């Protein structure tokens, strides 16, 4: 109000002084004419500024640097201030929204906001992945229409219990999700999803492992326990029977001992996180030991060859490599019928060093190949047990290979034989001065 009087009275006073001076100088007619002219000029200026303000409001942007003067400067100044404030607020909101969207996209958990009718209002990329949906197309769709599962629909309708709901085989995939509903407002709820597929698989592997170990130990324990009962009952056994009983007890305890030793060695390998040591292990002596071992196990039943006088060395752990290679050799002897052929070989292939054990044994049907290195996986359980197998040998080989940045490659044909290749990368090979890596048709050791 004070400003209004200041502005209006100031303008009137200026007009009166100006017209009085004109009247005094040129007469009252000119005085009145100049007053009218002054008032008309003031009105024209205000109209012009009103028009400018109107234009600015219409374009929603101030004309930069425009200095109208007087009260209009204040009006425009304030509008500029308001505009700047609104822009800053908008920028802050944009930043916050962007931050929220970035956080939502980075979240490993899925988040879906749904309304009371389970319609999708918003979701993050993890939720899109978990449910196989796309926000762009599926916004507004009912979640229970997309995920047709009676228990899931019931869970969404029931009041929040604080307990997660487990949804398995989501939309026909292997995915398992843990879901939790969180109320957001009167008519919005948030569904948080967590991928538990790997956790469930690990849990299943753990359960299978415990069941397998118990199963493997139960049979020999039952046999040994049964014989001990018989002996405690004071039953008289003739000398031949006694020998048979004691020899069975010995072989069953040996079986349990093998199992425990292999379990311990597997657990040691699995708990190693550092890479294998890089001491150079000469290949030739290892292969000669393996060759002797194969001859000993075979007891003359197989034709065994060793192509192994290379001067290469492997950078790694001798005991681990020996354990892996001997498992492959033992298997070749165990799964090759008498009269079959077994070849041990070390060769270089594009810089890699490859240790192969080739046999002309029973072979492996292709559907079993991908699972052979799983703990306790056997193609023929009875045959494996008969020949003293624990089902852990190839799992150990795989762990040793991983520890040496190497790979186990298996090729096999049922009835024709198998080849197990342990491929060591060039980075773990120290080539000999003269590389005598032999050709397959030049046997250096052989046993028939």
Our CB check for ligand ADP shows the closer of 130 and 378 to be: 378
Our CB check for ligand ADP shows the closer of 22 and 372 to be: 372
Our CB check for ligand ADP shows the closer of 187 and 409 to be: 409
What does each C-alpha distance from 373 to 69, 82, 328, 392 come to in angstroms?
A: 88, 71, 12, 8
Q: Write out the H or E segment, with its range, that includes residue 255.
A: helix 239-270
E-strand spans in 157-247?
A: 165-168, 176-185, 188-195
Least distance between ligand ADP and beta carbon 356 (Å)? 12
Our CB check for ligand ADP shows the closer of 123 and 394 to be: 394
Quote the radius of gyration of the chain (alpha carbons, Å).
44
Q: Does 384 bind ligand ADP (CB under 6 A)?
A: yes
Judged by CB under 6 A, which of 389, 398, 400, 437 binds ligand ADP? Answer: 389
Q: Considering only residues 89 through 108, tell me which ones interact with ligand ADP, judged by CB under 6 A.
A: none
- Cβ neighbours, 10 Å, residue 160: 11
Judged by CB under 6 A, which of 34, 167, 361, 429 binds ligand ADP? Answer: 361
Judged by CB under 6 A, which of 189, 302, 347, 378 binds ligand ADP? Answer: 378
Give 293's strand partners.
none
Least distance between ligand ADP and beta carbon 373 (Å)? 7
Our CB check for ligand ADP shows the closer of 304 and 437 to be: 304
Stretch that binds ligand ADP, among 38-46, 61-69, 273-281, 354-362 (CB under 6 A): 354-362
Our CB check for ligand ADP shows the closer of 23 and 253 to be: 253
DSSP state of 414: T
Q: Does 126 bind ligand ADP (CB under 6 A)?
A: no
Could you please report the per-residue DSSP string of 373-412? TSTT--SSHHHHHHTT--S-HHHHHHHHHHHTT-EEEEEE
Stretch that binds ligand ADP, among 68-76, 282-290, 383-391, 440-448 (CB under 6 A): 383-391
Our CB check for ligand ADP shows the closer of 22 and 392 to be: 392
Rounded-to-integer distance, Cα 176 and Cα 58, Å: 56
Give 413's strand partners.
417
One character per residue 306-335, x = contact with ligand ADP (rule: CB under 6 A): ---------------------x---xx--x
For residues 205 and 166, the answer to whether their CB atoms sit within 8 Å is no
CB within 8 Å of 85: residues ≥ 6 apart: none
One character per residue 224-263, x = contact with ligand ADP (rule: CB under 6 A): ----------------------------------------
Stretch that binds ligand ADP, among 20-28, 84-92, 316-324, 376-384 (CB under 6 A): 376-384
Least distance between ligand ADP and beta carbon 253 (Å)? 18
At 181 the three-state DSSP class reads strand
For residues 49 and 69, the answer to whether their CB atoms sit within 8 Å is no
Least distance between ligand ADP and beta carbon 387 (Å)? 7
Burial class (CB in 10 A: 0-12, 13-18, 19+), 418: buried
Q: Does 290 bind ligand ADP (CB under 6 A)?
A: no
Rounded-to-integer distance, Cα 335 and Cα 371, Å: 17
Scanning 27-122, the segments in alpha helix (DSSP H) are 28-59, 70-106
Least distance between ligand ADP and beta carbon 309 (Å)? 24
CB within 8 Å of 334: residues ≥ 6 apart: 297, 387, 388, 389
Phi then psi for residue 225, to 5 deg, are -60, -40
Least distance between ligand ADP and beta carbon 256 (Å)? 14
Judged by CB under 6 A, which of 19, 358, 399, 418 binds ligand ADP? Answer: 418
Judged by CB under 6 A, which of 287, 304, 379, 429 binds ligand ADP? Answer: 379
Judged by CB under 6 A, which of 345, 390, 399, 406 binds ligand ADP? Answer: 390
Q: Does 398 bind ligand ADP (CB under 6 A)?
A: no
Task: Give the pair of three-digit tokens for residue 196.
Answer: 């538990």
For residues 393 and 324, the answer to whether their CB atoms sit within 8 Å is no
Our CB check for ligand ADP shows the closer of 21 and 264 to be: 264
Least distance between ligand ADP and beta carbon 421 (Å)? 12
Judged by CB under 6 A, which of 113, 372, 424, 437 binds ligand ADP? Answer: 372
Buried b (16+ CB within 10 A) or exposed e, 309-327: bbebbbbbbeebbbbbbbb
Size of the site for ligand ADP (CB under 6 A): 22
Judged by CB under 6 A, which of 290, 393, 404, 422 binds ligand ADP? Answer: 393
Question: Could you give the strand order of the β-sheet that contains 341-349, starting from the edge strand earlier in sequence?
Answer: 407-413, 417-424, 352-359, 341-349, 303-307, 445-447
Residue numbers at the binding site for ligand ADP (CB under 6 A): 327, 331-332, 335, 359, 361-362, 364, 372, 377-380, 384, 389-395, 418
């Amino acid at each position: 109000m004070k400003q209004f009087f200041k502005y209006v009275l100031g303008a009137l006073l200026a007009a009166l002084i100006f017209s009085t001076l004109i009247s005094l100088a040129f007469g009252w007619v000119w005085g009145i004419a100049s007053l009218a002219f002054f008032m008309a000029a003031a009105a024209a200026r205000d109209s012009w500024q009103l028009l400018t303000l109107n234009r600015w409001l219409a374009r929603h942007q101030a004309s930069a640097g425009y200095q109208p003067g007087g009260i209009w400067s204040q009006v425009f100044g304030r509008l500029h201030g308001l505009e700047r404030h609104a822009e800053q607020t908008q920028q802050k909101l944009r930043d916050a929204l962007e931050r929220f969207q970035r956080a939502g996209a980075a979240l490993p958990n899925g988040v879906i906001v749904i309304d009371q009718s389970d319609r999708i209002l918003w979701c993050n990329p993890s939720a899109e992945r978990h449910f196989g949906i796309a926000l762009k197309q599926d916004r507004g769709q009912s979640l229970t229409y997309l995920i047709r599962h009676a228990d899931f629909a019931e869970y969404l309708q029931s009041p929040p219990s604080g307990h997660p709901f487990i949804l398995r085989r989501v939309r026909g995939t292997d995915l398992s999700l843990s879901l939790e509903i969180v109320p957001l407002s009167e008519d919005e709820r948030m569904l948080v999803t967590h991928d538990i597929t790997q956790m469930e698989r690990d849990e299943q592997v753990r359960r299978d492992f415990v069941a397998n170990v118990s199963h493997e130990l139960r049979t020999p324990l039952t046999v040994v326990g049964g014989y001990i009962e018989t002996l405690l009952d004071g039953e008289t056994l003739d000398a031949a029977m006694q020998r048979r009983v004691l020899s069975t007890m010995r072989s069953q305890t040996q079986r349990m001992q093998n199992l425990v030793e292999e379990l311990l060695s597997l657990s040691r390998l699995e708990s190693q996180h550092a890479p294998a040591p890089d001491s150079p292990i000469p290949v030739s002596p290892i292969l000669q030991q393996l060759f002797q071992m194969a001859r000993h196990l075979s007891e003359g039943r197989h034709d065994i060859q060793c192509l192994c006088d290379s001067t290469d060395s492997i950078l790694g752990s001798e005991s681990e490599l020996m354990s892996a290679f001997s498992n492959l050799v033992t298997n070749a002897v165990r799964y090759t019928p008498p009269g079959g052929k077994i070849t041990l070989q070390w060769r270089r292939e594009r810089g890699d060093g490859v240790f192969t054990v080739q046999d002309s044994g029973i072979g492996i049907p292709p559907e079993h190949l991908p699972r052979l290195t799983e703990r306790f996986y056997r193609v023929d359980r009875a045959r494996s047990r008969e020949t003293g197998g624990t089902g852990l040998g190839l799992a150990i080989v795989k762990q040793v290979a991983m520890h040496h940045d190497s790979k186990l490659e298996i090729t096999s044909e049922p009835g024709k034989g198998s080849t197990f290749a342990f491929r060591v990368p060039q980075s773990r090979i120290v080539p000999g001065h003269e590389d005598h890596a032999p050709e397959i048709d030049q046997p250096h050791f052989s046993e028939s």
